[in-house]
Structure 1
Amino acid sequence: MKKTTLFLGTFLLLLSSPSLFAFTKESTLEPLLLQSGNHKHWCSVCGMSIKMNYKTSHTSKLPSGKNRQYCSIRCLALDMLEHKINVNEVKVIDVLNEELIDARTAFYVVGSDVKGTMTKVSKLAFINTESAEDFSIENGGEVVSFDKAINIANKSLESDIQMINKKKKKKIYPMGKKIFENVCNKDIEPNNYLEINELKSAIKNKNLCEAKNGEELKEKELQAVSIYLWEVKRFEDLAKADNTIKVTQNEKCPICGMFVYKYPKWAAQIFYANFHFSFDGVKDMMKYYFQHKDGISKIIVTDYYSQKAINAQEAYYVIGSDVYGPMGDEIIPFKNESEAKTFYIDHKGVKVLNFIDIKKEEVNKLD
């Protein structure tokens, strides 16, 4: 009886010791996915699987109330540079019970033996300091607060991005290009999607790419082709196209703060004598226009169908449709009135307007 009890106690001790078994970041329970739609399975910033990186995953909310879910604190840090995210809304998965907890009250183990997600240095969260310290003793690393963990993530962003880009150029882009050219529908248009996880979801759920044996792509293959289409092909196609709006990677919309280059389908620009501003949609462009009309030399927007730059003041606009832009409800521009009216009918628009007929009150209501 004593031997049985001793054996059982030893067995339970072995099970409870994380250092004796390979640590996995993948969820062992059914993962809680907060984003809506089929794209909820993947990180809204990099497209990585939430389930496979569940124990490093975080969530937040945009000012609009839209849920965002990330594979890592690194992707959260990137999103915080672009969006006005309330840190009090940020949650993280507790490594031990795999439940969402308040990130501001969590205890992070930074720099353990566990491989980082999208970063060189791992950052794992625990609900209490005892659990974090026990993990740190077994696996190394320092126990810190969320504020320090996000500060560390911010400081390493540049080096982490360089590391990830090097890997992408060497392995992921070539792999994704090969998959796309061999087994994918060549009509895939990456600019039709607002985020990489939406593109990835479409590839998977609409069978836009199939392996030669007729099976679905594996997660690694799906990620590679999604990254290639999102980060390489859509910008190559844009660069080849004539008469499109050109935006540099450091240009932010002065209204919402988003990086405009990520959304070329919606880009708009207002030019003054010696400078210009770029916007991630006509809605934000009009907000700026109403406040800064003096000295404008030119305004251009992106025609919804052709993706060409067109004169904003000669364009036609559909307001109140069921098509959303990067900032939600959007004002959709068209060069031709006939196309605007067709879109208006097909997408339940409220009005077709000329530029001079767009009113400040109607623009503000779209928020």
Structure 2
Amino acid sequence: MDKVSEGMNRRQVLQVLGLSAVAGVVLLRPALAGAAATDGTPLQFMPKTAPDPAPLENELAKYPKCPYCGMDRRQWQHSRHLIHYEDELVDATCSLRCASLSLALNIDRGPKAIYAADFGAADEIKPLVEVEQASYLIGSDLPATMSRTSKMAFASAEAAQAAAREHGGEIGDFDAALRQAYLDQAEDAVMIRQRRAARRRRQVNGHHHGH
């Protein structure tokens, strides 16, 4: 264990052991264990943050970048989300899309609370609200973040309905918005594969015509 422990503290090692048991995978090859301490692959399963019992205090200063896409959360503060897991680890993202990645990867780490920016607030930096209390406007013409379908959270159901009258879309709860986030990712994955296949076909055909 000594070699592995050099790059990781004992708690991380125990987490890796726990993860490998869950996944049925041996993760203690030194190359992998060393990588886990420094980069996001393959263990972006674990949020790379210290336990934080009060994540909403100085939230944007503490969590300035989305760990999944690298975008500036202050720039995307109107769509940002924050997941506070039961073990006090925090994943603070730019959008519901990246929050949905966190929830999928951390399926065994229960969320204590999930927060979203209140798009309906007049504040320059939109305040965070618990998603259980939020209404999501799904599929409106409001700009989407990292996704094909706009999904904006509103603390006030009335504000969400007013936005729907102006911008279209449907009102749903967090679960409905989360389902849409996963559907969007599936559609994106299919579209990217189709585009790449089409590009390969064009290259092959161009190559043949060139002779």
Structure 2 CA distance for partners of 1:67 and 1:141, relative to 1, 3 Å: same
How many Å apart are 1:149 and its aligned residue?
A: 0.8
1:65 is aligned to 88
User: What is the distance in 2 between the residues matched to 1:50 and 1:166?
Assistant: 31
How many Å apart are 1:162 and its aligned residue?
A: 5.4
Instruction: Report how many residues are paired.
Output: 135
User: What is the distance in 1 between the residues matched to 2:59 and 2:191?
Assistant: 29
1:49 is aligned to 72
2:59 counterpart (16, 34, 45): 34
User: What is the distance in 1 between the residues matched to 2:110 and 2:84?
Assistant: 7
How many Å apart are 1:88 and its aligned residue?
A: 4.8
Instruction: Give the AA of the match of 2:82.
Output: T
1:118 counterpart (140, 146, 154): 146
Partner SS state of residue 125, structure 1? strand
Partner SS state of residue 46, structure 1? coil
1:108 is aligned to 136
TM-score, L = length of structure 2: 0.57
1:81 counterpart (82, 100, 104): 104
The reply on whether 1:156 has 2:184 as its aligned counterpart is yes
Deviation readout 1:199-254 (Å, 9 max, x if unpaired): xxxxxxxxxxxxxxxxxxxxxxxxxxxxxxxxxxxxxxxxxxxxxxxxxxxxxxxx
Contact 1:53–1:71 (8 Å) recurs in 2: yes
The reply on whether 1:92 has 2:130 as its aligned counterpart is no
Deviation readout 1:337-357 (Å, 9 max, x if unpaired): xxxxxxxxxxxxxxxxxxxxx
How many Å apart are 1:160 and its aligned residue?
A: 2.9
User: What is the distance in 2 between the residues matched to 1:71 and 1:149?
Assistant: 15
Partner SS state of residue 138, structure 1? helix
Contact 1:113–1:140 (8 Å) recurs in 2: yes
* Percentage of identical aligned residues: 27
User: What is the distance in 2 between the residues matched to 1:50 and 1:163?
Assistant: 27
User: What is the distance in 2 between the residues matched to 1:150 and 1:82?
Assistant: 14
Deviation readout 1:61-104 (Å, 9 max, x if unpaired): 23431221111111111111111343451010101221111101
Mind listing any 5+ residue stretches in structure 1 that lack a counterpart? 1-30, 168-367
Structure 2 CA distance for partners of 1:162 and 1:133, relative to 1, 3 Å: same
Instruction: Give the AA of the match of 2:80.
Output: S
Contact 1:60–1:85 (8 Å) recurs in 2: no
1:130 is aligned to 158
Structural RMSD (CA): 2.7
Partner SS state of residue 76, structure 2? helix
Structure 2 CA distance for partners of 1:114 and 1:87, relative to 1, 3 Å: same
Structure 2 CA distance for partners of 1:52 and 1:95, relative to 1, 3 Å: same
TM-score, L = length of structure 1: 0.34
User: What is the distance in 1 between the residues matched to 2:143 and 2:58?
Assistant: 23
Structure 2 CA distance for partners of 1:35 and 1:55, relative to 1, 3 Å: closer
1:213 is aligned to none
Structure 2 CA distance for partners of 1:164 and 1:33, relative to 1, 3 Å: farther
Contact 2:133–2:155 (8 Å) recurs in 1: yes
Partner SS state of residue 92, structure 1? strand
Mind listing any 5+ residue stretches in structure 2 that lack a counterpart? 1-55, 196-211
Deviation readout 1:273-305 (Å, 9 max, x if unpaired): xxxxxxxxxxxxxxxxxxxxxxxxxxxxxxxxx
Structure 2 CA distance for partners of 1:36 and 1:135, relative to 1, 3 Å: closer
Partner SS state of residue 149, structure 2? coil
Aligned 1:254-265 pairs, distance under 5 A: none
User: What is the distance in 1 between the residues matched to 2:111 and 2:90?
Assistant: 13
Deviation readout 1:246-272 (Å, 9 max, x if unpaired): xxxxxxxxxxxxxxxxxxxxxxxxxxx
Contact 1:35–1:68 (8 Å) recurs in 2: no
